Amino acid sequence: MTDTTGSTNPLLQDWQTPYQLPPFAQIEPAHFAPAFAVAFDAHLAEIDALAANAAAPDFGNTVAGFDASGALLDRVRLTFENLCASASPPALQAVEREMAPLLAAHDSKVSMHAGFFARLNAVYGQKDTLGLTEEQGRLLDRLHTDFVRTGATLQGDARDRFAAIAERLANLHTQFAQNILADESSYQLPLTGEADLAGLPDFLRSATRSAAQERGVDGYVITLSRSLVEPFLTWSTRRDLRERAWRAWTGRGESAARDNRPLAAQILALRQEQAQLLGYDSFADYALADRMAATPSAVYDLLSQVWEPAKASAERERQALAAQAVEIGEPGDIEPWDWYYLSEKVRAARYALDDAEVKPYFSLDAMLGAMFDCAERLFGVRFVEQTGVPLYHPDVRVWEVRRGDRLAGVFLGDNYARPNKQGGAWMHVYRKQTRNGGDVIPVVVNNNNFARGGNGATLLSFDDVRTLFHEFGHGLHGLLSNVNYTRLSGTFVPQDYVELPSQLLENWATVPEVLAKHARHVTTGEPIPAALIERIRASQTFNQGFSTVAYTSSTLIDMALHLQKDAANIDIARFEADECKRLGVPREVGMRHRLPHFGHIFGSAYYAAGYYVYMWAEVLEAEAFDAFEEAGNAFDPALADKLQRYVYSAGDSRDQRTAFRAFRGRDPQAAPMLRKRGLLAG
């Protein structure tokens, strides 16, 4: 029987492990609930003590004191969040459902702590007379805003109702996300015999065999990992099997046993009520008030510049696909499960590109080396792999991040798809950088879901390479953080700014000198030919109509959903269909994320009314990389220094518009982004 008491619970002990990582081998799901109970009590005791301080409230005894509180809870919570995402067997999923409302209830107790908020509010009222540094003033502003936005100023029944909504939403978010995970983990499309494998290149056959072995079955299987579904839709000549895979992929969250549609409707209604309790007309108004965009109208101003040009581009692409279909004897009535297949043939013909030719130059190990090299050349940090460190799964690798002789951080890479790991790609932390209460170095993890390469090297598509660099951009945002206070650390910035460091780093994946150095043929070791690099770079605007429509339609429908003032009566399936018709979303393209599996907006509130943030940040990153192109050097030392100081290391220590202006010398414009997507001439 598991001993979960404080005296033996590994989550509550001093971690005598390399880099003070969690003692993964000792942690069991049953340890979390009692550890959280202890951590909740400890955190509330700290807040009570801050509130009861007899000294007059000031920055040190109130603001900095709060920022330093909750260290034990943070340690347990971050370990829990990471394992729930990356290694979550059914027993841990059950604990996640149990803990979701308890975590929300604790957060409400803190944010509605009347005694502490009275002191915080008193300091906030004197902020202009306290002689605070820029970073101290920013911390005070952010903490005060956090408290107000989570109900600190509410009274009586409204206060109780806000807390109850937070608990219920935590439950619903968790269930929504777990339903998607269950659908993705349980589905498999077996490929039996050569006829089912028709058209699949060797790298994909190897990946599907590995997926079958992981699931204990013979032969080959397609799972609902994007790294298997999209290549299968791209290469399989079996239209019937492509349709089955596409329907399973787009139908996640709609099965009778795990129907997310009623959960989404409840989430929307509760969010709308939450926003109204705080005085906002809609949840979108509430969410945008604390982002760079500030208002829904600012988001629509951006999207309106993109939507019609993207649809026009997608229609031209559809016509090219139809012509290609006729040429190769396929039906000319393009279906959604035909797009990837036919667009690959058009791409190959137009740019003389074939993934089977390209992928051998992009092994996972080589591309890890490429991104580490870019980090060293830009920011002066080295990544040194360490072995023998106990981690939570054999797939995971660990690197020391060194600046000179100093250990500046720890980086974990978890790059393969597997059962009980959520889909997609993401960055998280086990420990945040701070100097409040001691100098703490960050521990950052990047997760991807690449298909394992069987007995040989894992080969990446160029889209996979961009994903790898994207998540590493988030990773660097956490690793390079150089602030004093935990609340301002790393990626803890507005959602429409957090994607800037990640999307910006993707640009270095296409820098010719980076590819020439690191993209080497996995068998021969020969460097990638310069002509092939140019064809890859030239193809980057190919199929952008499809990609932009799929993304922007999801963004527009997310925003429309969260602007509804009567969310209680929404049928999300009908709403999705009606909005697609109103917007003119091409049937052959559809949404990148249909609502029943739109985990970005329903798996938590983080991207709710906020899926637009990728394009908002793309405006910023296109402007930012333009600076390097204008300098004629992707590794210009002066620009790299400014980029590190004002973007990657600044966290939330200064206003983001001010920080970007300090780096770029001007406010961002949309034109570079539109040009980059091929939606604007020039």
Question: What are the catalytic residues?
Answer: 471
Backbone φ, ψ for residue 443 (5° rounding): -120, 115
User: Are 595 and 609 a contacting pair, CB within 8 Å?
Assistant: no
Smallest CA-to-CA distance from 493 within 616, 322, 400, 628 is with 616
Q: Provide Rg for the chain, Cα atoms.
A: 25
Q: Distances from the Cα of 178 to the Cαs of 89, 118, 450, 606, in angstroms?
A: 11, 39, 20, 17
DSSP codes, 476-494:
HHHHT---S-GGGSTT-S-
Tokens of 107: 């957060």
CA 167 to chain centroid: 23
Half-sphere exposure of 341 (CA within 13 A, CB side): 29
Instruction: Give CA–CA dist 534/572, Å, rounded.
Output: 44
The sheet with strand 426-431 has its strands ordered as: 382-386, 397-403, 406-416, 443-450, 426-431
Tokens of 171: 């439950």
- 444 Cβ neighbours under 8 A, 6+ residues apart: 409, 410, 411, 412, 427, 428, 429, 430, 475, 478, 479
Eight-state DSSP code of residue 259: B
Dihedral through CA 663, CA 669, CA 675, CA 676, nearest 10?
A: 40
Instruction: Give CA–CA dist 399/384, Å, rounded.
Output: 5
User: Are 245 and 222 a contacting pair, CB within 8 Å?
Assistant: yes
Interstrand relation of 443-450 and 406-416 (parallel, antiparallel or unpaired): parallel
Tokens of 356: 């089977």
CA 218 to chain centroid: 34
Half-sphere exposure of 617 (CA within 13 A, CB side): 24
The H-or-E segment that residue 443 falls in is strand 443-450
